[in-house]
């Protein structure tokens, strides 16, 4: 049953906000607990992992896991391990992205990046520790085992040579230079989109979603992931024009949507993509309320 | 029923050798097939992954997986995905170990190391692609799913902050300097031993081993892993004395067993550890013949 696409009344908005805050608390507390490593973990490694992971943020990917589970009628609490795994992989990808041989960023959100604070070797190892931990958490804490194996396969495929790592590789090598819209979308689909889709799929898996729900969520995610990336490019573009210094080193002069298709067309694309993502959720009932709010949040950032 | 521990007659030796060659062929062919990535994988990344993984080698860890499965009465063919996953993680750890901020090695087995041939960024990404692929293969190709989830949890724990990555971190930071035998053993247990034990456990899991078999294999592996590491140190020490150039850059002046306890005591330790590893297999029948031969091979390298 489709929920009307009109703006929700204030009361419902409060409910959505309260429910997002509750979910965020669940995630923060679980991420903290998961990185209390026993003493076989060197202190500096524990510090670097926690420094990178426990920074305040939107927690967008874990939220996608939990809201997808909720939309499919599953329990939000049961989705916590999978939500944490998605955030661990995202943090690993940020550490990777910031390295001197990748984007060479000195700061993120006003703090030194992991490699600037702990050195290159420890940063690489902290990223790898997070990647391994993501699979450990999924394999051990998602129940039943059949779902756990499906979650591991989903996340591994999203991390691998044809997805995150492959997109990163093309991105590093594409460098400043020219490129087509197809190449830019292909890089984003692998670097950002794959983990978006995997997060939604993890949520659907732990909720025991129907094939129709799985496929609707994948359509939702493919539109939303691209909308999110174009929005990021637009925000960077604005900061760059205003000279507010938000631009990170490695992104300077890189191929972006505003550079390639212009600011106005980029904005129109975001609106259209968010609308298409919402259409994909038409078959879901009011349980998808928060997921719809999350999609609107993407264009609201502009 | 225990098999006599005396030297096997020539006929049995041939059988063991033939059987090892057959297993090695299964592994080589599966590793080749697993790294034929579709076109979303950049060519340079595919090349770097295959360059690192498909080099002729002992394939010791996949052999441990397959021989452990065989010792527990399982099918060697069913153990192939898990065996490949162990080798992928091992290769990832070698790429990591060779990086400029780790051991800074230029060559391995007479060829340029991955980062020397493909650059630091692609080497790091190739390692990460292998790590992700290991979990994808386990989660997707090990059957039933309950065993697959157990395999993922086992391998992830062996890779993580309290094992491989933690040992690597302490190793980098210990540097040239002094240290106790306990610290050296603790680093080896995490850097090398954890993957040895995980390989045996993967084999036992896919074979549906009894708790007694699991625990005997873990005892076997803890002795054998350390014996293997001391042997490696001794071989490096010999090459170093003979000036045959086998010594790699990052290992120069590092804490090793011959430096710490002397060559003679190191040799005695290896003999004792191999003997203890064989004792741990006493409860296994003739199906453990190849696993015993593998243990003897460790001290035969000296």
Those of residues 102-121 in A touching chain B at CB distance below 8 A are: 102, 119-121
Task: Say how far apart CA B188 and CA B193 lie, in whole Å.
Answer: 6
By C-alpha distance, which of B42, B188, B189, B185 is closest to B119?
B42
What is the pLDDT confidence band of residue B270, given thresholds at 50, 70 and 90? very high
Query: Is A156 close to B102, i.e. CB distance below 8 A?
Result: no
For residue B94, what are the CA distances in angstroms to B25, B104, B286?
22, 11, 34
Q: How many other β-carbons are positioned within 10 Å of the β-carbon of residue B55?
A: 13
Query: Is B153 close to A139, i.e. CB distance below 8 A?
Result: yes
pLDDT digits (tens, 9 = 90+) for A130-155: 999 999 999 999 999 999 999 999 99
pLDDT digits (tens, 9 = 90+) for A282-296: 999 999 999 999 999
Any B CB within 8 A of A160 CB: yes
Query: Is B42 close to A169, i.e. CB distance below 8 A?
Result: yes
| 3-state helix/strand/coil string of A119-164 | CHHHHHHHHHHHHHHHHHHHHHHCCCHHHHHHHHHHHHHHHCCCCH
Structure tokens at A38: 């026993």
Query: Shortest Cα distance from A208 to chain B (angstroms)?
Result: 16
Predicted TM-score (pTM) of this structure: 0.92
By C-alpha distance, which of A50, A41, A125, A137 is closest to A86?
A137
By C-alpha distance, which of B172, B218, B213 is closest to B194?
B218
| pLDDT computed for residue B253 by the predictor | 60
- Could you give the angle at which helices B211-242 and B289-300 cross, rounded to 10 degrees? 20
pLDDT exceeds 50 at position A74: yes
| pLDDT computed for residue A169 by the predictor | 93
**B101 contacts on A by Cβ (under 8 Å):** 119-121, 124
Q: How many other β-carbons are positioned within 10 Å of the β-carbon of residue A7?
A: 9
Burial of A185 (0-12, 13-18, 19+ CB in 10 A): middle
Structure tokens at B100: 């400029």
Instruction: Determine which of A35, A152, A173 to mutate to test the interface with B (most B C-beta atoms within 10 Å).
Output: A152
pLDDT digits (tens, 9 = 90+) for A168-206: 998 887 754 567 888 888 888 998 899 999 999 999 999
Instruction: Determine which of B162, B182, B187 to mutate to test the interface with A (most A C-beta atoms within 10 Å).
Output: B162
State the average pLDDT for chain A.
89
State the average pLDDT for chain B.
89
Dihedrals phi, psi of B107, to nearest 5 degrees: -135, 155
**A38 contacts on B by Cβ (under 8 Å):** 162
Instruction: Determine which of B128, B133, B134, B174 to mutate to test the interface with A (most A C-beta atoms within 10 Å).
Output: B128
Give the domains, in start order, of chain B with CATH numbers. 10-300 (1.10.600.10)
Structure tokens at B35: 């790294």
pLDDT exceeds 50 at position A112: yes
| pLDDT computed for residue A243 by the predictor | 65
Query: Is A129 close to B190, i.e. CB distance below 8 A?
Result: no
| pLDDT computed for residue A105 by the predictor | 84
pLDDT digits (tens, 9 = 90+) for B279-295: 999 999 999 999 999 99
Query: Is B45 close to A133, i.e. CB distance below 8 A?
Result: no
Name which of A204-208, B14-18, B120-124 the model is least confident about: B14-18
Task: Outline where chain B has alpha helix (H).
Answer: 10-34, 43-53, 60-71, 80-98, 114-118, 120-141, 145-159, 164-174, 181-188, 194-206, 211-242, 257-261, 263-280, 289-300
pLDDT exceeds 90 at position A214: yes
What is the pLDDT confidence band of residue B197, given thresholds at 50, 70 and 90? very high
Task: Outline where A35-79 has alpha helix (H).
Answer: 43-53, 60-71
Query: Shortest Cα distance from A269 to chain B (angstroms)?
Result: 24
């Amino acid at each position: 049953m489709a929920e009307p696409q009109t703006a929700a009344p204030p009361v419902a908005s409060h409910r959505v906000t309260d429910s997002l805050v509750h979910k965020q608390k669940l995630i923060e507390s679980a991420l903290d607990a998961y990185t209390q490593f026993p003493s076989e973990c060197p202190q500096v490694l524990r510090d670097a992992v926690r420094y990178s992971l426990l920074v305040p943020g939107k927690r967008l990917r874990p939220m996608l896991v939990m809201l997808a589970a909720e939309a499919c009628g599953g329990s939000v609490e049961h989705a916590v391990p999978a939500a944490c795994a998605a955030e661990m992989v995202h943090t690993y990808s940020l550490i990777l992205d910031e390295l001197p041989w990748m984007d060479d960023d000195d700061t993120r959100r006003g703090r030194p990046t992991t490699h600037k604070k702990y050195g290159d070797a420890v940063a690489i190892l902290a990223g790898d520790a997070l990647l391994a931990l993501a699979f450990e958490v999924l394999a051990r804490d998602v129940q039943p085992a059949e779902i756990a194996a499906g979650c591991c396969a989903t996340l591994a495929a999203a991390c691998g040579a044809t997805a995150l790592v492959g997109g990163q590789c093309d991105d590093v090598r594409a460098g400043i230079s020219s490129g087509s819209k197809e190449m830019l979308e292909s890089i984003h689909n692998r670097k950002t989109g794959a983990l978006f889709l995997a997060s939604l799929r993890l949520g659907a898996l732990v909720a025991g979603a129907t094939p129709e729900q799985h496929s609707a969520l994948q359509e939702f995610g493919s539109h939303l992931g691209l909308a999110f990336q174009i929005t990021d490019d637009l925000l960077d573009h604005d900061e760059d024009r205003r000279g507010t210094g938000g631009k990170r080193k490695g992104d300077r002069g890189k191929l972006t949507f505003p550079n390639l298709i212009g600011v106005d067309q980029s904005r129109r694309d975001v609106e259209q993509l968010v609308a298409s993502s919402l259409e994909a959720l038409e078959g879901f009932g009011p349980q998808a309320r928060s997921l719809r709010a999350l999609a609107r949040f993407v264009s609201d950032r502009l």
